[in-house]
Amino acid sequence: MARVLVLGGGGFLGSHLCERFLNEGDEVVCMDNFISSSPDNIAHLLENKKFHFIFQDVTNFIYLEGKVDYILHFASPASPPVYYKYPIQTLKVGALGTHKALGLAKAKNARFLFASTSEIYGDPAIHPQPESYWGNVNTIGMRGVYDEAKRFGEAMAMAYHRFHGVETRIVRIFNTYGPRMQANDGRAIPAFINQALKNEDITVFGDGSQTRSLCYVDDLVDGIYRLLMSNEAEPVNIGNPDELTMLELAKQIIELTGSQSKIIFQELPEDDPKLRRPDITRARSILGWEPKVDRKPGLIKTIDYFKSKL
């Protein structure tokens, strides 16, 4: 039985990871301050004797008694409206939070996994995006607080790996969806689904031609778990290469919900990436991983979740 610390374990991805480790028979310590997540995500885990929750801002000093085998750093706002609202906190959790977490990993001789993002590629000039691409990021733009926090976190992880010999893993997460997303977090899928379920106008930015590649949460969690258990220290993309436009996504959600919603268009936000699709060659070859859940059944499960929350 391993002992696992999940920073940001009350979030969308963090809570699913807590479940995965509990299902593997491990002891899980979840740390969160719910700045961008919800206690509801982990409420069903609280009766599990192998699950422990600590309310804490991870930018402060982190310490746990006893052994720690794995530390996963998922503590960060992850959608533009939220990191626009909390720009300083977003930078701090990517910089100070990563530093504190790596310090604990060094002290406990624990393996550390950093949750990076496809946003480090910015508005890409290369498509699809391989891990070798250095990105096209506006460091002083509105999205820079998130992009640069994650880029700094990657650099910090590699520094601890090279200088201190800490076992580090870096996952670059592409757009992921599924149950426990926040309805009001500003990302396309929860926004479109909730608008459709209420028969409200569905707001598509720009002309809707910008693309995303959508990975169901169960697939992503499996890829992260495989990366953690691998020997790969350099970044690995985890995402679904199934690319579609935002207009296509809006139309599919209207169809799946049977909604009477109309599609309206709003101005494209600053530095919004026009293209997003992972090159998962390394994930396939190193981890033996590729996504299994098709978009339609994944969206149906997600729609059912949001219906239950109305």
User: Which residues have C-beta within 8 Å of that of residue 34, sequence separation ≥ 6?
Assistant: 10, 55
pLDDT digits over 274-306, tens only? 999 999 999 999 999 999 999 999 999 999 999
Q: Which of 83, 146, 177, 216 is catalytic?
A: 146
Write the CATH number for 48. Answer: 3.40.50.720
Distance CA 17, CA 218 (A): 9
Q: Are residues 150 and 109 in the same domain?
A: yes
pLDDT digits over 216-247, tens only? 999 999 999 999 999 999 999 999 999 999 99
Q: Are residues 259 and 110 in the same domain?
A: no
Q: Residue 186 — very low, low, confident or very high, per pLDDT cuts 50/70/90?
A: confident
pLDDT for residue 271: 80
pLDDT for residue 185: 85
Report the chain's mean pLDDT, rounded to a whole number: 96
Q: Are residues 169 and 108 in the same domain?
A: yes
Q: Give the chain's domain count.
A: 2
Write the CATH number for 261. Answer: 3.90.25.10
pLDDT digits over 244-274, tens only? 999 999 999 999 999 999 999 999 888 888 9
Cβ–Cβ contacts within 10 Å for residue 74, how many? Answer: 28
| Contact call for residues 167 and 228 (beta carbons, < 8 A) | no
Distance CA 175, CA 154 (A): 19
Q: Are residues 268 and 142 in the same domain?
A: no
pLDDT for residue 164: 98
Distance CA 97, CA 101 (A): 6
Q: Are residues 223 and 172 in the same domain?
A: yes
Strands 211-213 and 243-245, by their bridges, are antiparallel
pLDDT higher than 90, residue 184: no
pLDDT for residue 21: 98
Q: Are residues 122 and 235 in the same domain?
A: yes
Q: Are residues 230 and 123 in the same domain?
A: yes
Q: What is the pTM of this model?
A: 0.96
**Residue 76: domain span:** 3-178+216-240+278-292
Indicate if 146 belongs to the active site. Answer: yes
pLDDT for residue 73: 98
Distance CA 147, CA 251 (A): 29
Is 310 a member of any domain? no
Q: Are residues 161 and 137 in the same domain?
A: yes
Is 308 a member of any domain? no
Instruction: State the residue for tokens 């310490």.
Output: 63
pLDDT digits over 41-72, tens only? 999 999 999 999 999 999 999 999 999 999 99
pLDDT for residue 214: 97
pLDDT for residue 76: 97
Q: Are residues 229 and 248 in the same domain?
A: no
pLDDT for residue 38: 94
Instruction: Output Rg (C-alpha) for the chain, integer angstroms.
Output: 19
Distance CA 145, CA 139 (A): 8
Is 183 a member of any domain? no
Specify which residues 30 forms β-bridges with: 6, 53
pLDDT higher than 90, residue 105: yes
Is 251 a member of any domain? yes
pLDDT for residue 272: 84
pLDDT for residue 71: 98
